[in-house]
């Protein structure tokens, strides 16, 4: 992903209504007079602005001591200034209160790795907030203000009713200068090749969005949030008129999980590997254009296989809503609640079929059994979990993974980080011994070796590397 294409906006930006596709779109009208053309957005801002907040997040980091300060003579002459200390890491962004009890939605990257969060309200009050839920897969987080209630809040609109050309406002705290309002239009919908999160399905707007706007709302002409500003297209770091917002219907799912006390968002499981259609593939399937999600592989235990979907099928729509690509299919299913079923329109051998797929969560079989590796070895500081449909989906493991253990967490400054291990890496073998479970990994790392031969899978590609012991 080119960093110039999608710049996250933090200074350090889901239950979809079942009948959305059948609702009548509201009528639009162009200004009929000069008086109408110069109307002000002030009433909308007055309604929306009190619910928009600034988010300040921080954590304390240990600063390693200079090894010379282990020498008492050195300390005698040069003092204690180099002894172990602490420094503060900080992040600045925006957020929006979505419930009078003090629930705040912001971007995950605004509070990522942070432990202390403070929220500044439009009336200048500063209130500490508790992090209720982090959801890196959507780049969303939910906070809870720790004092009282009765806060001004903003309604979440139905983002499926947006149209290209609709007027919108972006409200936030760009560059930390204070709350700012910018105006523009929806310039595109369902942008999927942005690379910001696992559920790429973004509203594109030309409303000026800059660093610090992250987590602030994209507001419609009724003063409701239709999205959460998350990223910009930029080569300079500033706004060039292309910004991206997470649709409010995606926000609703994350918010519902937080309200229910959940710590992790559970979404319907696909149980399939999907592929975008090229013009050549579309032509071979007698499609007029390359639209839909091609089923490249299936998990026999998955809901799509159970519904009758087969390899080579093209999924064209979910509950009557068109699917342009695999990311669009993931979004359509990801905004639906678990339980019940979704209707799929599937193209097979030139014929359209109607199938019903259950909306169930990915099973965690076998159990993840997390193991954190310690000691003097290349894996020290990494936490591994067993491979299962749930961990494959949660950690975005690529390729046809069938064995190995997955890197779930990496401690800052650890040997594993120095080895450049990444979350989602699949360890297949250590010193030519196959790794099938986290206990195999623990045993392999406990041994002493003159060298370490490591075979891993990253992004669907198998890599073998040798490092000294």
Distance CA 99, CA 429 (A): 49
Q: Pinpoint the alpha helices (H) of 335-401.
A: 389-394
| In contact, 302 and 271? CB cutoff 8 Å | yes
Question: How far, CA to CA in Å, does 360 sit from each of 50, 176, 336, 389?
Answer: 38, 42, 10, 12
Annotated binding site: 109, 139, 212-214
Assign residue 461 a region (left: φ > 0; alpha: ψ between -120 and 50; beta: otherwise).
Answer: beta
The DSSP result for 118-168, as a single string, is EEE-TTS-EEEEEEEEEETTTTEEEEEESS--------B--GGG--TT-EE
Cα–Cα distance, 162 to 158 (Å, whole number)? 8
Is residue 307 classed as helix, strand or coil in its secondary structure? helix
| Residues flagged as binding site for substrate | 109, 139, 212-214
Q: What's the alpha-carbon Rg for the chain, to the nearest Å?
A: 25
Q: What is the dihedral of CA 193, 196, 200, 201, to 10 degrees?
A: -90
Strand partners, 302: none
Structure token digits, residue 353: 């079929």
CA angle centred on 247, ends 246 and 252, rounded to 5°? 105
Report the C-alpha gap between 48 and 308 in whole angstroms.
47
- Residue 95 pairs in a beta bridge with 53
Q: Which residues are catalytic?
A: 109, 139, 214
Instruction: State the DSSP H helix or E strand holding residue 344, giving kind and residue range, or none if neither.
Output: strand 341-348
| Helix, strand, coil percentages, rounded to 5, for the chain | 20, 35, 45
């Amino acid at each position: 992903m080119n960093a110039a294409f999608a710049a996250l906006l933090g200074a350090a930006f889901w239950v979809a209504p079942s009948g959305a596709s059948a609702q009548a779109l509201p009528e639009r009208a162009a200004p009929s007079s000069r008086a109408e053309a110069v109307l002000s957005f002030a009433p909308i801002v007055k309604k929306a602005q009190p619910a928009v907040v600034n988010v300040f997040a921080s954590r304390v980091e240990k600063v390693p001591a200079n090894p010379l300060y282990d020498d008492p003579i050195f300390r005698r002459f040069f003092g204690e200034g180099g002894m172990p200390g602490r420094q503060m890491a900080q992040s600045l962004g925006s957020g929006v209160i979505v419930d009078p009890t003090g629930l705040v939605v912001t971007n995950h990257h605004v509070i990522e790795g942070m432990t202390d969060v403070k929220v500044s309200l439009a009336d200048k009050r500063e209130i500490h907030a508790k992090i209720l839920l982090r959801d890196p897969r959507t780049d969303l987080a939910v906070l809870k203000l720790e004092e009282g209630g009765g806060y001004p809040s903003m309604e979440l609109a139905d983002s499926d009713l947006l149209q290209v050309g609709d007027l919108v406002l972006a409200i936030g705290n760009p560059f930390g200068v204070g709350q700012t309002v910018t105006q523009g239009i929806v310039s595109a919908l369902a942008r999927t090749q942005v690379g910001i999160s696992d559920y790429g399905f973004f509203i594109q707007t030309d409303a000026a969005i800059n660093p610090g706007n992250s987590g602030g709302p994209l507001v419609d002409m009724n003063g409701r949030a239709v999205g959460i500003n998350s990223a910009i297209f930029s080569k300079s770091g500033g706004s060039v008129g292309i910004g991206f917002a997470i649709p409010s219907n995606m926000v609703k799912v994350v918010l519902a999980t937080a309200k229910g006390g959940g710590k992790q968002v559970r979404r319907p499981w696909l149980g399939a590997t999907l592929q975008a259609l090229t013009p050549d593939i579309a032509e071979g399937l007698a499609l007029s254009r390359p639209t839909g999600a091609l089923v490249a592989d299936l998990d026999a235990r998955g809901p799509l296989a159970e519904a009758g979907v087969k390899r080579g099928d093209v999924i064209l729509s979910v509950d009557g809503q068109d699917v342009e690509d695999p990311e669009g299919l993931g979004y359509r299913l990801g905004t639906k609640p678990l339980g019940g079923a979704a209707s799929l329109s599937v193209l097979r051998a030139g014929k359209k079929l109607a199938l019903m797929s259950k909306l169930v969560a990915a099973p965690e079989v076998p159990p993840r059994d997390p193991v954190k590796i310690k000691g003097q070895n290349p894996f020290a500081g990494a936490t591994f979990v067993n491979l299962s449909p749930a961990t494959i989906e949660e950690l975005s493991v690529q390729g046809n993974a069938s064995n190995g253990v997955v890197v779930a967490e990496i401690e800052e400054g650890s040997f594993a980080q120095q080895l450049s291990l990444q979350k989602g890496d699949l360890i297949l073998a250590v010193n030519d011994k196959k790794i099938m479970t986290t206990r195999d990994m623990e045993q392999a790392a406990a041994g002493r070796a003159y060298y370490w031969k490591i075979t891993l899978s990253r992004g669907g590609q198998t890599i073998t590397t040798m490092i000294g012991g």
